[in-house]
Amino acid sequence: MNKTKNGGTPERFANFMSDIGHKFHINLTMEDEERLKVIFSDLLTGFSMMMDKGPVITVFGSSRVTSADAEYALGVELGRELAKLGFTVLTGGGPGLMEAVNKGAHDAKGHSIGINISIADEQPQNPYAFPSITINYFFVRKFLLMKYSSAYIFLPGGFGTLDEFFETVTLLQTRKIANCPIILVGKEFWKGLMDWIDDRLERGGMISTEDTDSFFFADSAEEVVGIIENCIDDGTLNLKVGK
């Protein structure tokens, strides 16, 4: 399998930095130049991998769920059903629910892709994502996970999943990404957060009522499929392909 931790493209990067530096008279420390090199390499690798993939649905969820948990079985079923609908299934490429979703898509002979993250406590790439790359910066990873997708599905998860959720809804609110469905799976899991958003944010005037119009809730893969099919029919799910 093609599991790649990003290498460099030193000549292209050197030319890029030379052009930018010459145009804007930018001077960088060696540390910042190396950091930009890694960011540029991550983006280039991600763009290359995602080109002409699609339509894509990104699924987020906990890395800590095990194959013995009920959520894992739900993730496998969800990945399988998304693949049967003809979607490329994109996850964070790691273990837990990411692995479960990739496994389902892989078992259904669908396109199963992962964008993993390099962290201090190494997060292994799961064996069901192909191709799968490892990104060095969270913000680059999130950008790639969001850029190409027609819909976003959130399974239960911790801080990382919540970070991805709030960034996605902020991008929707500010129209940095096109309107599309956000499907939250596990109604009981998400209820407390949704109540807080309603009580504290919407009633407090910190968000608008329409800011949550793209939210959908499900407890099963079957319900998710129904939501997606309805969104395709009413035009709120754009079947875009990466360019």
Q: Note if the bond before 55 is cis, omega within 30 degrees.
A: yes
Residue 222 has pLDDT above 60, yes or no: yes
Per-residue CA distances from 189 to 21, 69, 118, 217 (Å): 49, 15, 28, 11
Determine the pLDDT at residue 18.
64
Q: For the chain, first and last CA: distance in Å? A: 24
pLDDT 10s digits, 94-120: 999 999 999 999 999 999 999 999 988
Q: What domains can you pick out in the chain, each with its CATH number? A: 44-234 (3.40.50.450)
Q: Give this prediction's pTM.
A: 0.89
Q: What confidence tier does 11 reach under pLDDT thresholds 50, 70, 90?
A: low
Q: What is the mean pLDDT of residues 186-195?
A: 98
| DSSP states along 63-100 | SS--TTSHHHHHHHHHHHHHHHTTPEEEE--SSTHHHH
CA 65 – CA 93 distance, rounded (Å): 14
SS3 at position 89: strand
What is the DSSP-derived secondary structure letter of residue 216? E
Task: Of 155, 146, 92, 101, give the one whose Cα is nearest residue 124.
Answer: 92
Q: In the prediction, which pLDDT does 23 show? A: 67
Six token digits for residue 51? 């080109």
What is the tens place of the pLDDT at every residue in 196-211? 999 999 999 999 999 9
**Please, is 19 exposed, middle or buried when counting C-beta atoms within 10 Å of its C-beta (0-12, 13-18, 19+)?**
exposed
